[in-house]
Amino acid sequence: MKDTNKVIIRCTGCGAANRIPDDRIGMAAKCGKCHEPLQASSNHTDREETYKMRCHQCGAKNRIPASKLEAGPKCGKCAELLQTEELFAPQPIMVTDANFDSHILKSPLPVLMWAWAPW
């Protein structure tokens, strides 16, 4: 089943969060808890691009808005500064025994590694 994008709209009556599919915005919708009519915000289509990356310290997944990449975002779990400069690092990166842990095992991004040996 294909998952559609959903918008979370808070009910003005009870404050409950309601997930509304994008294709249903603008139609009559009611709160699932108190059945009051929901009013969609006008900025739901102006979504900002986000980047997902793992914390190098605790491994927690973090979603970072594009506008806050250079503002020194912190991990939501351990409050460690996230290494966002790795999102735009030039490719490829030379990996050795000395930096294998920091570049591969603790990488906040997925890694594609090519290994070569002279023998």
**What are the DSSP calls for 36-104, one per residue?**
PBP---TTTT-PPPEEEEE-TTT--EEEEEGGGGGG--B-TTT-PBP-GGGGG--S-----TTTHIIII
Tell me the pLDDT tens digit for each residue of 19-76: 877 777 767 788 888 888 877 654 444 456 788 888 888 888 888 888 888 888 999 9
User: What are the Cα distances from residue 10, in Å, to 2, 26, 72?
Assistant: 25, 15, 29
Whether residues 54 and 35 fall in one domain = no
Whether residues 60 and 74 fall in one domain = yes
Domain count across the chain: 2
Whether residues 36 and 55 fall in one domain = no
Please give the DSSP secondary-structure letter assigned to residue 105: I
Has residue 41 been placed in a domain?
A: yes
16: containing domain: 1-47
pTM above 0.85, yes or no: no
Has residue 34 been placed in a domain?
A: yes
Whether residues 6 and 26 fall in one domain = yes
Whether residues 60 and 41 fall in one domain = no
